[in-house]
């Protein structure tokens, strides 16, 4: 009898845990922000952030970094822990945006859907609850949180999302999370990003972004080998025809 009761309690605990972490994607209104981890509860990985950066945005970066450290460059199936969490089934799909949603949700950021009738306060830390990269852009654009790289001097910050395009094709092909930014001067920034579904892996990318490129849609370049300071990254750009479309200001 004791074994039966223990088994029932264990099953109930599993259900409760699943409910606590399930993302209610079918709801017409996304969930309110969950309580974020307190300062210092997450591994810092030696990262430093701007003093004015909100805690939820810091945790967004640290959660993404923790997921990378859990699966560093490991090839994951198309139906993985992130897609199953978000879609609640075993569908196989590109999951770059699902990865950022997972990190945003578990960091206490407010999630916003495309065409959702909601007011976002100026100081609110947000991200888009959208699996399609194009809809991620629409969310940030609708709430005046979007920096379009070919229309302004788009300046990245840690905790922002970055969207990439493909020259001659879609401007919304992939999304990542900006981990750190180093100002190199003359409108050039060294970015380290954490991105899901790069060849079915989670990767840290390290490259240079030019906010004022001489040629439109040619704003990414590799860091010269002798100037690389970051470790455990991919130092080649994603693909030769990719460019930075812009940044979503999460905070």
Q: What is the pLDDT along the chain (251 residues), one digit of tens a residue?
A: 544 444 444 433 333 333 334 444 555 566 677 888 999 999 999 999 999 999 999 999 999 999 999 999 999 999 999 999 998 888 888 999 999 999 999 999 999 999 998 889 888 999 999 999 999 999 999 999 999 999 999 999 999 999 999 999 999 999 999 999 999 999 999 999 999 999 999 999 999 999 999 999 999 999 999 999 999 999 999 999 999 999 999 99
Q: What Rg, from alpha-carbon coordinates, does the chain have?
A: 19
Helix, strand, coil abundance in the chain, percent, nearest 5: 25, 25, 50
Structural domain includes residue 9: no
172/169 Cα distance (integer angstroms) = 9
Structural domain includes residue 8: no
Q: What is the per-residue pLDDT for 34?
A: 84
Task: Name residue 193's beta-bridge partners.
Answer: 178, 205
Structural domain includes residue 151: yes
Structural domain includes residue 23: no
Give the domain range for residue 214. Answer: 30-248
Q: What is the per-residue pLDDT for 14?
A: 35
Structural domain includes residue 3: no
Evaluate if pTM is beyond 0.85.
Answer: yes
Structural domain includes residue 230: yes
Would you call 147 helix, strand, or coil by DSSP? strand
Q: What is the per-residue pLDDT for 122?
A: 86
Q: What is the per-residue pLDDT for 31?
A: 66
105/113 Cα distance (integer angstroms) = 13
The number of domains in the chain is: 1
Structural domain includes residue 57: yes
């Amino acid at each position: 009898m004791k074994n039966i009761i223990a088994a029932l309690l264990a099953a109930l605990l599993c259900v409760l845990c699943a409910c606590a972490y399930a993302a209610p994607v079918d709801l017409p209104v996304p969930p309110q922000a969950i309580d974020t981890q307190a300062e210092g509860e997450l591994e810092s990985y030696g990262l430093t952030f701007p003093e004015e950066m909100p805690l939820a945005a810091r945790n967004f970066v640290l959660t993404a970094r923790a997921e990378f450290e859990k699966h560093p460059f490991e090839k994951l199936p198309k139906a993985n822990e992130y897609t199953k969490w978000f879609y609640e089934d075993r569908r196989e799909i590109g999951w770059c945006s699902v990865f950022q949603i997972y990190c945003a949700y578990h960091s206490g950021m407010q999630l916003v859907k495309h065409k959702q009738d909601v007011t976002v306060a100026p100081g609110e830390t947000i991200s888009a609850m959208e699996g399609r990269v194009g809809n991620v852009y629409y969310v940030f654009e609708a709430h005046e949180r979007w920096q379009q790289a070919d229309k302004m001097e788009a300046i990245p910050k840690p905790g922002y999302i970055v969207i990439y395009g493909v020259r001659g094709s879609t401007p919304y092909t992939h999304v990542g999370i900006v981990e750190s930014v180093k100002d190199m001067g003359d409108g050039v920034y060294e970015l380290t990003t954490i991105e899901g579904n790069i060849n079915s892996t989670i990767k840290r990318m390290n490259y240079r972004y030019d906010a004022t490129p001489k040629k439109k849609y040619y704003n990414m370049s590799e860091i010269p080998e002798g100037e690389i300071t970051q470790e455990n990254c991919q130092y080649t750009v994603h693909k030769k025809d990719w460019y930075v479309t812009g940044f979503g200001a999460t905070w």
